[in-house]
Structure 1
Amino acid sequence: MKYDVVVVGGRLAGSTSSLFASKGGLDVLMIEKRQEIGTPVQCAEATTKDTFNILEMDPSKKYICADIDGVDFYAPNGKHFRIRGNNMYGFREGYVLERKIFDKHLAIESARCGTDIMVKTTVKDLIIKNGKVCGVVAKHLDKTFDIKADIVIAADGIESNIARMAGLKTFNQIGDMASCAQYEMVGVKMDPNYLQIHHGQNIAPGGYLWMFPKGNGVANVGLGVLNAKETAYYYLTKFIEKLDATPVELNIGGVPLSGPIEKTFSSGLMVVGDAAGQVDPMNGAGIQNTVTCGRIAGEIAVESIESEDTSSNYLKKYEDLWRLTIGNSLETSLKYQKIFQNLNDDDFNVLAEFLENKNIESISKLSILKFLKDYPHLITLLFNVFILKQ
């Protein structure tokens, strides 16, 4: 078997890379280890409207569960404030998706553009000759075989065995990995067009709890914790006890929050998505970043093969371009994540007291300075995280 490109991983990163490589006329094979693309869900499922512009795809009611106009932030003492529209760093109006349907839809679109797909297939090793990745050793059921390729794209998630096989450093420190748990629940009472974010050391130490509406009283209720004494599941179970709602699905996993890996390419190889650490370190969001980098990987693959140059020097263009596109955003998010990590419950309560029932766009710098004179670190946070249009 021989392909221009073999993509390892059939979720969002893999399908996007495959889609744009196939659109460019390449022979592409996408390999997915699970028997069905889209399951299990490994995401809170919210994304921006920009995601669909990047994919050159119109959003469909088949997988759009809710239109999102903003987010409600809850402090530990129960006070809350609302951010509407795009008036906060890292948030844009968007949607809550049904990822089981959306991920498969994206794979189907890729197949329609010419991508071959193999499910329930694992990659056991890379084929490397003279320091260049030139294929994979795959296993489907009981059969093992070689698949040659000019380029391999590693889209295999946070474990990223493919990147490690190629000699790239992908190790995440335990302290940089958020432990996450999420229930999909029925009977949740909340505004159907606003996300909810809850902070508090007794709710989600080192992280936050989210409630994302999916329509008709269904919502994702989950949380992520960092360096906590108990598991994410423990804190989630404790929180949902006060909800008059019924769980219908549980997912548990981890999210890397340390920022991108040092190097996302080598000769014949590109790494994309969670495997490359292209997740927003502040909020753990990854859909828009993933499709951005997946598209870049697919398009660079086209350029590389058309130029008959799949060397490390050429594929460096992939890293240069994705860092130019989202690199500054990731660095800024990492900085803000460290600020949020140092906030205590009193800080969140003070923020909520100040912002409660206020229009963010109308807040003056003077009012911030007066109210938060004893909290200089919160002043910096407000000026930088919340986009105040003066």
Structure 2
Amino acid sequence: MEKMKYDVVVVGGRVGGSTASLFASKKGLDVLIIEKNQEIGVPVQCAEATSSSTFKTLEMKPSSKYVCNEIKGADVYAPDGSHGHLEGGYAEGFILERKLFDKHLAIESAKAGTDILVKTTVKDLIRKKEGVRGVVAKHMDHTLEIEAELVIAADGIESQVAQMAGLNTRQTPHSLCSCAQYEMVGVSCDPHYLQFYFGQKIAPGGYVWVFPKGDGVANVGVGVRSDTTSAYSFLRKFTSQMNATPVELNIGGVPVHGPVDKTYTDGLMVVGDAAGQVEPFTGGGIHVTVLCARIAGEVAAEAIEKGKTSENFLKRYETRWKKEVGGDLKQSLKYRRIMDRLTDEEMNILAKFLKKQDLESISKMSMLGFVRDYPQFLKLLKEIL
């Protein structure tokens, strides 16, 4: 058995893992990324949209190397086909080519000093009385014993590494949104605006998205929570009405129940999908993951510098990310639960109301008038207010 030693081992080389390793390496730590796939960035498991805050957190400028398109807003469609238009603000951002973006982050991390092992899987954790102290991994035909002061688990939904350490990262069918997405050629849409479609018949418990990548290419996907019909079936039904050709299919799950209960333990932190650091309402997670992963990398540097890697010290990781995005994630979960309870008819009514409003400054008077006309919304609006 080959033995290795690092300050930090990061399990998972996608956005969360590469961001954590990047900032840990910038702080002078000796870091290793372990990635189970033979190429970082594939297969794609994302609709590929993100906000400008992602690049501010990364301290990078958006590059045409991996940015397909700039987004100025969005059109949101109710079940009856009526739609509202959002301009700028939250709906503004970029469409990425994740195959290139994820690899770019890994390359930047490597330039900062991170070592990377692809096609490598974790088989067990190294445990000592102080807690987690590394991993046992399989690289090709070789078994590696990799000692480390800290492990960062960025290994996706239901993180096996976190579970090995005793943390509960398990998801349920209700807490996951099942997703299927085509990359399609020949899609007719405004290249700078996202499209969202809601309705129980096309996407129960979720929505359909059309994210333009430019030159008639777009990601067309469906996220659902359904016990009877697969996301892929809903995707095929929706795209059957389009005169466009699929060139790629990706299927996966997104955690939409909020963060897991605990994202740290002795010698280990959890980031990204593994930690449930995803907006429950939209299912978007790149900007959240990047922020939390940067904090994990910085806390790792503090912990190792001070020789304190117990959960009492690593708790500051969770304290910091909750301070930054915890409130937003709770609010997003509240909105998702409200949407879960709306019928298609109620969605249509709400859409017509919102279409007439300035979403930045909806007045209490307009809400009171709306509730007077539609008293069934009173309880829902109380939750929002």
Q: Is the 8 A contact 2:71 2:93 kept in 1?
A: yes
Q: Is the 8 A contact 2:130 2:310 kept in 1?
A: no
Match of 1:23 among 22, 26, 31: 26
The amino acid of 1:103's aligned partner reads: D
Partner of 1:289: 288
3-state SS, counterpart of residue 17 of structure 1: helix
Q: Is the 8 A contact 2:267 2:310 kept in 1?
A: yes
User: Quick check: 1:73 aligned with 2:82?
Assistant: no
3-state SS, counterpart of residue 174 of structure 1: coil
User: Quick check: 1:222 aligned with 2:221?
Assistant: yes
Match of 2:59 among 44, 56, 59: 56
Q: Following TM superposition, by how much is the alpha carbon of 1:257 offset from its aligned partner in structure 2, in angstroms?
A: 1.2
The amino acid of 1:107's aligned partner reads: A
Q: 1:332 to 1:362 in 2, by over 3 A?
A: closer
**1:363 and 1:159 mapped to 2: Cα distance?**
39
Q: Following TM superposition, by how much is the alpha carbon of 1:348 offset from its aligned partner in structure 2, in angstroms?
A: 1.6
The amino acid of 2:158's aligned partner reads: E
**1:161 and 1:377 mapped to 2: Cα distance?**
43
User: Quick check: 1:44 aligned with 2:47?
Assistant: yes
Q: Is the 8 A contact 2:156 2:274 kept in 1?
A: yes
Q: RMSD over aligned Cα, in angstroms?
A: 1.8
Partner of 1:111: 110
Q: Which one is further off, 134-143 or 355-364? A: 355-364
Partner of 2:167: 168
Q: Following TM superposition, by how much is the alpha carbon of 1:369 offset from its aligned partner in structure 2, in angstroms?
A: 3.4
Partner of 2:180: 181
Q: Which one is further off, 362-371 or 158-167? A: 362-371
Partner of 1:102: 101
Question: Deviation digits for residues 325-357 of structure 1, max 9, x if unmatched?
Answer: 111111111111110100111112112323447
After TM superposition, the structure 1 = structure 2 runs for residues 195-234 of structure 1, keeping only pairs within 5 Å, are 195-234=194-233
Partner of 1:269: 268
Long gaps (5+) in structure 1: none
Q: 1:41 to 1:382 in 2, by over 3 A?
A: farther
Partner of 1:83: 86
TM norm structure 1: 0.94
Q: Is the 8 A contact 1:49 1:92 kept in 2?
A: no
Q: 1:104 to 1:340 in 2, by over 3 A?
A: same
Question: Deviation digits for residues 248-306 of structure 1, max 9, x if unmatched?
Answer: 10000111111111111111100000101111111111001100010000000000000
Q: Is the 8 A contact 2:194 2:212 kept in 1?
A: yes
Q: 1:127 to 1:108 in 2, by over 3 A?
A: same
Q: Is the 8 A contact 2:180 2:222 kept in 1?
A: yes
Question: Deviation digits for residues 132-152 of structure 1, max 9, x if unmatched?
Answer: 100100111111120000000
**1:315 and 1:295 mapped to 2: Cα distance?**
14
Question: Deviation digits for residues 146-192 of structure 1, max 9, x if unmatched?
Answer: 00000000000003110000011111121111111000111111111
The number of residue pairs the alignment matches comes to 382
3-state SS, counterpart of residue 249 of structure 1: strand
Q: Is the 8 A contact 2:158 2:171 kept in 1?
A: no
Question: Deviation digits for residues 217-240 of structure 1, max 9, x if unmatched?
Answer: 111100111134200001110000
Question: Deviation digits for residues 60-79 of structure 1, max 9, x if unmatched?
Answer: 01111111111110011111
User: Quick check: 1:190 aligned with 2:189?
Assistant: yes
User: Quick check: 1:3 aligned with 2:6?
Assistant: yes
**1:308 and 1:328 mapped to 2: Cα distance?**
31
The amino acid of 1:125's aligned partner reads: D
Partner of 2:330: 331
Q: Which one is further off, 363-372 or 106-115? A: 363-372
Displacement over 6 Å in runs of 4+: 379-386
The amino acid of 2:77's aligned partner reads: Y
Q: 1:319 to 1:358 in 2, by over 3 A?
A: closer
3-state SS, counterpart of residue 229 of structure 2: coil
The amino acid of 1:324's aligned partner reads: K
Q: Is the 8 A contact 2:35 2:117 kept in 1?
A: yes
Q: Following TM superposition, by how much is the alpha carbon of 1:120 offset from its aligned partner in structure 2, in angstroms?
A: 0.4
Q: Following TM superposition, by how much is the alpha carbon of 1:99 offset from its aligned partner in structure 2, in angstroms?
A: 0.5
Q: Following TM superposition, by how much is the alpha carbon of 1:380 offset from its aligned partner in structure 2, in angstroms?
A: 7.4
Q: Is the 8 A contact 1:176 1:257 kept in 2?
A: yes
**1:165 and 1:8 mapped to 2: Cα distance?**
13
**1:112 and 1:377 mapped to 2: Cα distance?**
57
**1:124 and 1:234 mapped to 2: Cα distance?**
35
Q: Is the 8 A contact 2:134 2:147 kept in 1?
A: yes
**2:12 and 2:96 mapped to 1: Cα distance?**
20
**1:375 and 1:176 mapped to 2: Cα distance?**
30
**2:211 and 2:300 mapped to 1: Cα distance?**
36
Long gaps (5+) in structure 2: none
Question: Deviation digits for residues 184-228 of structure 1, max 9, x if unmatched?
Answer: 111111111111110011100111111111111111100111134
Q: Which one is further off, 230-239 or 320-329? A: 320-329
Partner of 1:307: 306
